[in-house]
C-alpha cells in the first residue's frame, strides 16, 4: 500500500492527527514526495533516527542497530500495521512475536477488499469512502487468536503449538485446546514410531547389502 492509502485507512478507522506513528523503514521509494501527504495527515511521525539522535544510531541508520530499534519499537507498540505486500521476515516475525506476547493489536489491511474503494476514490467518488473502508476493516483480524491457515507460516502464527491456555469469547478459538496434552503425546508417539520405522528400514537395507 502507498503511504497516502495507509494514512487514509488509519483515519477511517478512527486515528486523528494527534496519533504518534513510528515508521520502521529504510529509504522510501519516492522519498518525501510520497511521504508529504501522509505527514499532512499524521504530523507526529518518527523513525529510529528521531527517537534517538545519538551519533551511534545515526551512523547505523542502515545497519543492524537501526533494524533492532525498529523491531523493538514495533514489538512493544500499542498497534502494529504491516504495509508491505511481499514476503518480509521482519513483518512476519513481528506478527508472530506480538501474538505470543498476548495478542497485541495488529492492523492487517485487506488489500483486495480495499482496492476497489481506492479506485473509486481516485475516480472522484469520495462519498461514503470512510464508511466503506470501515466495513472492510471490521472483517479483518486485529491480532486476536486464530488458527494458522495457509499461507501463514509458523513464525507468523504459531498457534496452537506455542501458546498457553487462553479464554477467548469464542470456544473454538481457545488455544491450545483442552486436550492439548493428548495431542502433544500423540504427535510425540507418531514421531517416535516414524523414527523406529526409519531405523528398521535402514538396518534392513544394510543387512541386504552385506
For residue 53, the model assigns a pLDDT of: 63
Q: What is the pTM of this model?
A: 0.66
What are 1's three cell numbers?
Answer: 500500500
For residue 174, the model assigns a pLDDT of: 63
Ordered per-residue pLDDT tens for the chain, 210 residues: 788 899 999 999 999 999 999 988 765 555 677 788 999 999 998 887 777 666 666 565 556 777 888 888 888 899 999 887 656 788 888 888 888 777 788 888 888 899 999 999 999 998 999 999 999 998 887 777 777 877 778 888 877 676 655 566 666 656 555 565 576 567 667 777 776 777 677 666 655 555
Q: Which residue bears the cell 483515519? A: 11
The four Cα atoms 171, 175, 176, 179 give a dihedral, to 10 degrees, of 0
For residue 3, the model assigns a pLDDT of: 85
For residue 134, the model assigns a pLDDT of: 92
For residue 118, the model assigns a pLDDT of: 94
* Dihedral angle sign, alpha carbons of residues 58, 29, 89, 73: positive
Q: Which residue bears the cell 514410531? A: 193
SS (H, E, C) the chain: CCHHHHHHHHHHCCCCCCCCEECCCCCCCCCHHHHHHHHHHCCCEECHHHHCCCHHHHHCCCCHHHHHHHHHHHHHCCCECCCCCCCCHHHHHHHHHHHHCCCCCECCCCHHHHHHHHHHHHCCCCCCHHHHHHHHHCCCCCCCCCCCCCCCCCCCCCCCCCCCCCCCCCHHHCCCCCCHHHHHHHHHHHHHHHHHHHHHHHHHHHHHHC
CB atoms within 10 A of CB 13: 15
Domain ranges of the chain: 3-173, 179-210
Closest alpha carbon to 3 in 13, 150, 77, 21: 21
Closest alpha carbon to 137 in 107, 116, 115, 159: 107
What are 104's three cell numbers?
Answer: 497485541
What are 91's three cell numbers?
Answer: 513483518
Amino acid at each position: 500500500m502507498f503511504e497516502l492509502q495507509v494514512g487514509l485507512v488509519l483515519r477511517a478507522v478512527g486515528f486523528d492527527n494527534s496519533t504518534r506513528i513510528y515508521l520502521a523503514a529504510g529509504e522510501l521509494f519516492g522519498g518525501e514526495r510520497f511521504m508529504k501527504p501522509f505527514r499532512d495527515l499524521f504530523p507526529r511521525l518518527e523513525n529510529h533516527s528521531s527517537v534517538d539522535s545519538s551519533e551511534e544510531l545515526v551512523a547505523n541508520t542502515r545497519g543492524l542497530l537501526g533494524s533492532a530499534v525498529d523491531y523493538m519499537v514495533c514489538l512493544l507498540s500499542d498497534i502494529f500495521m504491516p504495509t508491505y505486500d511481499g514476503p518480509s521476515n521482519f513483518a512476519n516475525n513481528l506478527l508472530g512475536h506480538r501474538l505470543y506476547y498476548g495478542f497485541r493489536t495488529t492492523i492487517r489491511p485487506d488489500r483486495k477488499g480495499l482496492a476497489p474503494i481506492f479506485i473509486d476514490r481516485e475516480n472522484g467518488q469520495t462519498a461514503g469512502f470512510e464508511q466503506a473502508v470501515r466495513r472492510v476493516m471490521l472483517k479483518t483480524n486485529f491480532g486476536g487468536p486464530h488458527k494458522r491457515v495457509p499461507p501463514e507460516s509458523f513464525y507468523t502464527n504459531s498457534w496452537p503449538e506455542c501458546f498457553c491456555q487462553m479464554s477467548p469469547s469464542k470456544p473454538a478459538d481457545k488455544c491450545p485446546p483442552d486436550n492439548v496434552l493428548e495431542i502433544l503425546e500423540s504427535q510425540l508417539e507418531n514421531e517416535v514410531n516414524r523414527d523406529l520405522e526409519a531405523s528398521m528400514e535402514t538396518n534392513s537395507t544394510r543387512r541386504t547389502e552385506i
